[in-house]
Structure 1
Amino acid sequence: MTWLHALTLLDFEKINILYTLLVAFTSSSLFLWGYLAQDEQLKPQEQYPELFKAVQSQGIFPDSKTFPDCIPVLAPELIREAYNSEKDKPDFDLKAFVLQNFKLPATPAANFTSDTTLPVTEHINKLWPLLTRQAINDFSSRIDLPNPYLVPGGRFREIYYWDSYFSMLGLKENGSYQLIEEMVNNFTFLIESVGHIPNGNRSYYTTRSQPPFYALMLQLLSEIKGDEIWPAYAPALKKEYHYWMDGALSLSEEKPTYRRVVRMPDGCMLNRYWDDCPDPRPESYIEDVDLAKLSAQQPEDLYRHIRAAAESGWDFSSRWFADGQTMKTIHTTDIIPVDLNALLYNVEVTLAHIAQLEQNIEQADHYKELAQKRKKTLLRYCWNTKENFFMDYDFVARQNTPAFTLAACFPLFFNMVLPKQANCVAEKLETDFLKPGGLITTLNYTHEQWDAPNAWAPLQYISIVALRNYGHHDLAEKIKQSWIQLNIEVFKTTGKLVEKYNVENSESEAGGGEYPLQDGFGWTNGVLLKLLSEGKNDPIDPVIVE
């Protein structure tokens, strides 16, 4: 019997106590445990393949994410043995078996009652502790992290990559500098141990990432602690960059793609979203399997496109659909996204900045050259001269996709464009995207959550900064005030700050997606607190520019 088997004979709460004592024994033990846990930590569909498929296929839980997040109360091999010995019995009850062998994931803020008489800023500051998780290993699919961190809220019980940056904006205004640094250190730990920052700290998320905001997090931390932070984090930032650029040197005219890199017709490199696994998502298993039955695509291709869209954070949007309407036509890996390549441009500029601080002129010039090439290539392929707007590029069809989206604001956010291009984007935003409550995500009305009439806090923030960068202060202020007013109005009415909003009708909830509207909510809180904390037309924290 192994030591883990012995532990499973104890009450699960005692296991947590023993683990806490182990952590307290030595300051380095948590890091050691984290590396050991990742070596041994399989995904739920690998730990219990037959049980997992049965639970997800039979819809034991309304939310497909519930079972992958469940906490085993016995060692996985013991649960597998018990399932195999009991599953064929006439009176076998699958749900009862799961509830006997697993602990359901907790929702710590479930009993929290909002006080709508409070200013919304006080409400947000009361929420931060409820959204904070401590470093502890519960033997579930959750990847153990060395420091406390924020979760978005609701069904999202783990840290999420790009969500965290926008939560950090609020933490900075709140003076929670230590938590910001701890979260940055968690992401650094994930880069070092997993090889990249996963979608979230779950074993089933490790085959994909999310939009690369780590460089922006480091820039935020440098505003707090100064340039002294860069040498410590430079190796991790380089490792993340290499993850996104893996295979770039091997591409050719005959082999134009590999994982996340794409060789364009002119020989230059841009990036796409990707996932290394061509299977249904464990957290949305039955949804993916059911969609495969409706789609003309091969299931493996469909699953890859779905997972790549999940990596984008825009899961899901008609920007990924070939017919502009239905998810069964999703083709994400055929698309060069505007926002992803603007973010990677910022990574290259940041690496050049670090090299310059280190007086490594040769390396600084190397990254500057990469950034300049990416900017020129992005402008060449993603600026639609007919529409005067930034649009994703379908490199298979060799043309821009028809989707108008707020991803167009990312090149402006990073100061990559000509003033006349910025003016055209601003005009389109004001004419077509601006609604009473803020900016709609796309101009396409579907049942997907990243389409009209929905709006999301991170895209409002990106757009506001983008417009200010090019002098469109009045429009930026109008968007800001509309968004703030909508957030406060919904809070006063419902007591909630939610993940997304209907900006056309404040009395209607934002809809679409694979799950009910979630409240909490990390990035909504962060962006709202950031916007409320600044004066009219105050500069928002700048990014590093060339």
Structure 2
Amino acid sequence: MKFEYCTLFKDVQLSGIFSDSKTFADAIPKQSWQTAQQAYEQLDLPLSYCELKGFVEQHFSFALQPELQALSDVSCVKDYIETLWPKLQRHGFSQSNNSLLALEHDYVVPGGRFNEIYYWDSYFTALGLEDCGSIALIEAMVNNFVNLIERFGCVPNGNRVYYTSRSQPPVLALMVQLLMPYKKSDIEWVKRVVNAMLKEHAFWHQGEQQLADSSGEYKRLVKFANGAMLNRYWDDKAEPRPESYAEDVTDAQQLPVQQREAFFRNIRAACESGWDFSARWLDNPASLLSINTTKRVPVDLNALLYQLEITLSECLLLLEQASHSEEHAKRAGRRKSAILQLLWSNEHGWFCDFDLAKNSISNVLSLAGSVPLFCAIASKQQADIIAKKLESNFLRPGGLVSCLSQTSQQWDSPNGWAPLQWFAISGLRDYGHHKLAENIAQRWLKMLEQDFAKRGCLLEKYNVCEPNETAGGGEYQVQQGFGWTNGVTSRLYSLYCAMLS
């Protein structure tokens, strides 16, 4: 269904009726978008603000958000998480007359304004679901992802029509690994998830043949002059995002016309990264207008694609496809070598993104640099160096700050996010840095418990530098819920048996 840029949609989004553009992008037509648009065209346009608001109320309804805070019988974080899972669970459905993409199986949404699945959120949510024994729900979510790949060639950013031109950090392999102890005897299931992972791998490698005999860039693939091939974030569309239409149009109007398509594509590519937005993607950290995501080769994306290739190799071996398994093992080996060669900075003692525009490694240091520990790419010496820098530069009273750059963007200092705490803590544990890992976890849990005592809920992000202050930045207010915060926090309690508030 294509409704995003019809006259009605644009007029409503630019009218200021909704402070958050996502509200109308997710609207539920009482009949259909086509019917609403046809009725709109019969009117004497343009409508006044009040007339337009009345038209919207006449033709659309909006999904109610569950009340996540008023849980009067919940007195501690652990109980809150357990109570919240059913409120964040959605049932599968076969058809939709709004922007939602149908999903056959049940799934879990993050919460707040996010009333749909999000791809990379789901892995961190799954950690908590495993802790409470909801293995069937994790399997249902994986089955949904497999089905989405079969329909769209990738797992979209989320199950909305307007998200289908991009994906998110590829975590299907991590979810398959999580389920493997429960499902490895089910060979048919293994075959199906392997086929899905192969298709996801192909999605990230569109253009591989075009770059075979040359260096250059094609969509999500970059081939360096030395023959190394790595990936970047991308979006085939160079248009305003429907869910942030007013924001994107307003920002783009500050740029020359000839620069606007590139701006839209780079904004969308940053959304594919999950880090929307961060100094990682900005040529000028003070200005979102300088966003240049497609000119960065991200270290976390390539580490996760390495993990995908390793997982494919292991699963194909389980299916007795030795030659195919070896092919992906070699791919993983080549990617690991390229990451170590191109994305490790001796100067910074850190894994960094590569800036294609400058043909040099980026100076922005972020927790993306800890993902090579999580994926077992770093050497022991590199892991020791990273551990020291995490402790000396990133560690704050509430845990790890996401990025050392302090900007107005939500993925930069002073904010910390649950998924990045998990990548770092898990990676440190794997390399033997148990004391530091526990210190980070305990700071995170202490901050959450103190904040929970005041708010009675968990949030999507936190100000880890000043835990008494609410996290800011970004295009919307901090959201409560929250899927990946719940999942990671549950896993940290499980690992460290922290005293519960």
TM-score range, shorter chain: over 0.9
Map 1:402-413 onto structure 2 (within 5 A).
Answer: 402-413=363-374
Note the alpha carbon deviations across 1:379-412, whole angstroms, 9 max, x for none.
Answer: 1110011111111001232101110000001111
* Residue in structure 1 matched with residue 440 of structure 2 by the alignment: 479
Matched pairs, number? 493
Residue 422 (str. 1) matches residue 383 (str. 2) = yes
Preserved contact between residue 497 and residue 519 of structure 1 (Cα < 8 Å): yes
How far does the alpha carbon of each residue in 1:289-316 deviate from its partner, in whole angstroms, 9 at most, with x for none?
1211234670000000100000000000
Instruction: Please state how far the C-alpha of 1:485 moved relative to its aligned partner.
Output: 0.7
Match of 2:8 among 51, 73, 86: 51
Residue 162 of structure 1, aligned match among 113, 120, 130: 120
Instruction: Quote how far apart the aligned CAs of 1:533 are.
Output: 1.3
Q: Does 1:357 align with 2:318?
A: yes
SS in 1 for 2:285: coil
Does 2:203 correspond to 1:243? yes
CA distance in 2, matches of 1:248, 1:517: 40
Aligned counterpart in structure 1 of residue 283 of structure 2, from 311, 322, 326 = 322
CA contact (8 A) 1:115 1:123 kept: no
Per-residue deviation at 1:138?
3.8
| Aligned-residue offset at 1:253 | 6.7
Give, in angstroms, the shift of residue 324 of structure 1: 2.5
Deviations 1:120-172 (CA, angstroms, capped at 9, x unpaired): 11111110111011123341100010011100000001000000110000000
Partner of 2:100: 142
Aligned CA distance change for structure 1 residues 252 and 132 (closer, same or farther; 3 Å)? same
Aligned to 1:172: 130
From 163, 175, 194, the counterpart of 2:152: 194
SS of equivalent residue, structure 2 residue 67:
helix
TM-score (norm 1): 0.88
Give the match's secondary structure for 2:416.
strand
What letter is aligned with 1:106?
Answer: L
Alpha-carbon distance, 1:325 to partner: 2.6
Structure 1 residues 87, 449: CA separation in 2 closer, same or farther (over 3 Å shift)?
farther
Q: 2:408 aligned with 1:447, yes or no? A: yes
- Counterparts of 1:142 and 1:479, CA distance in 2: 38
Distance in 2 between residues matched to 1:80 and 1:324, nearest whole Å: 40
1:474-529 Cα shifts (integer Å, max 9, x gaps): 11010010011111111111101000001111210000000001000000000011
One-letter amino acid of the structure 2 residue matched with residue 193 of structure 1? R
Query: Who is 2:85 aligned against?
Result: 128
1:50-69 pair list within 5 angstroms: 50-69=7-26
Aligned partner of 1:269: which letter? M
Q: How far apart in 1 are the matches of 2:63 and 2:79?
A: 28
Report what 1:508 is aligned to.
Answer: 469
Q: Describe the superposition over 1:25-46 as per-residue Cα deviations: whole angstroms up to 9, x where unpaired.
A: xxxxxxxxxxxxxxxx33x315
Please say if residues 215 and 227 of structure 2, whose CA atoms lie closer than 8 Å, have aligned partners that are also in contact: no
Gaps of 5+ in 1: 1-40, 538-546
Task: Kindly indicate whether the alpha-carbon contact (under 8 Å) linking 1:440 and 1:453 is maintained by their aligned counterparts in 2.
Answer: yes
> Where does residue 335 of structure 1 map in the other structure?
296
Aligned to 1:294, the other structure's residue is in SS state coil
Distance 2:397 2:19 in 1: 34
C-alpha distance in structure 2 between counterparts of 1:192 and 1:107, whole Å:
30
Match of 1:88 among 33, 39, 45: 45
Distance 1:206 1:315 in 2: 17
Contact kept, 8 Å, 1:499 with 1:518, in 2: the verdict is yes
Letter of the 1:353 counterpart: E
Residue 139 of structure 2 aligns with which residue? 181
* Cα separation, 2, equivalents of 1:108 and 1:210: 26
Q: Map of 1:386-397 to 2, 5 A cutoff?
A: 386-397=347-358
TM-score by length of 2: 0.95
- Could you tell me which amino acid in structure 1 is paired with residue 284 of structure 2? D
Task: Measure the CA separation in 1 of the matches of 2:136 and 2:286.
Answer: 44
Contact 1:253 1:263 in 2 (8 A): no
Secondary structure at 1:448's aligned position in 2?
coil
Counterpart among 208, 215, 240 of residue 166 in structure 2: 208
> Counterpart of 1:65 in 2: which secondary structure?
helix
Q: Between 443-452 and 245-254, report the one with greater CA deviation.
A: 245-254
User: Which residue of structure 2 lines up, in the alignment, with residue 256 of structure 1?
Assistant: 216
Q: Tell me which amino acid in the other structure corresponds to 1:135.
A: G
Contact kept, 8 Å, 2:215 with 2:225, in 1: the verdict is: no
In structure 2, the partner of 1:33 is none
Match of 2:452 among 491, 506, 528: 491
Higher relative contact order (CA 8 A, sep 6+): 2
Mark the runs of 5 or more structure 2 residues left unpaired by the alignment. none
Structure 2 counterpart SS, 1:371:
helix
Q: Secondary structure at the match of 2:391?
A: helix
CA contact (8 A) 2:400 2:464 kept: yes
Q: Does 1:75 align with 2:32?
A: yes
* Structure 1 residue 355 displacement after superposition: 1.6
Shift of 1:534: 2.0
Task: State the Cα distance separating 1:79 from its structure 2 match.
Answer: 1.3
Quote the residue 1:103 is aligned against: 61
State how far apart, in whole Å, the 1-side matches of 2:493 and 2:32 are. 48
1:348–1:84 CA distance, 2 compared to 1 (3 A): same
Stretch moving more, 228-237 or 464-473:
228-237
- From 58, 75, 80, the equivalent of 1:118 is 75
Shift of 1:90: 6.7
CA distance in structure 1 between the partners assigned to 2:462 and 2:393 by the alignment: 17
1:438-491 CA-partner distances (Å, limit 9, x unpaired): 000001111110000000000000000111111111110100100111111111
SS at 1:290's partner residue?
helix
* C-alpha distance in 1 between matches for 2:382 and 2:309: 22
Distance 2:255 2:383 in 1: 38
**Contact 2:252 2:263 survives alignment (8 Å):** yes
Structure 1 residues 355 and 253, CA gap change in structure 2 (3 angstroms): closer
- Conserved? CA contact 2:428–2:436, under 8 Å: yes
Moved over 4 A (4+): 89-92, 252-255
CA distance in 2, matches of 1:355, 1:144: 30
Q: Which amino acid aligns with 2:211?
A: L
Structure 1 residue 254, shift from structure 2 partner: 5.5
C-alpha separation between the residues in 2 aligned to 1:87 and 1:361?
68
Q: Retained in 2: the 8 A contact 1:116–1:492?
A: no
Q: Which amino acid aligns with 2:178?
A: L
- Identity, % of aligned positions: 45
Decide whether the 8 Å contact of 2:407 with 2:413 is kept in 1. yes
Alignment-derived partner of residue 22 in structure 1 = none
**3-state DSSP class of the match of 1:118?**
coil
The residue type paired with residue 448 of structure 2 is: N
The answer as to whether partners of 2:21 and 2:246 remain within 8 angstroms in 1 is: yes
CA distance in 2, matches of 1:227, 1:164: 24
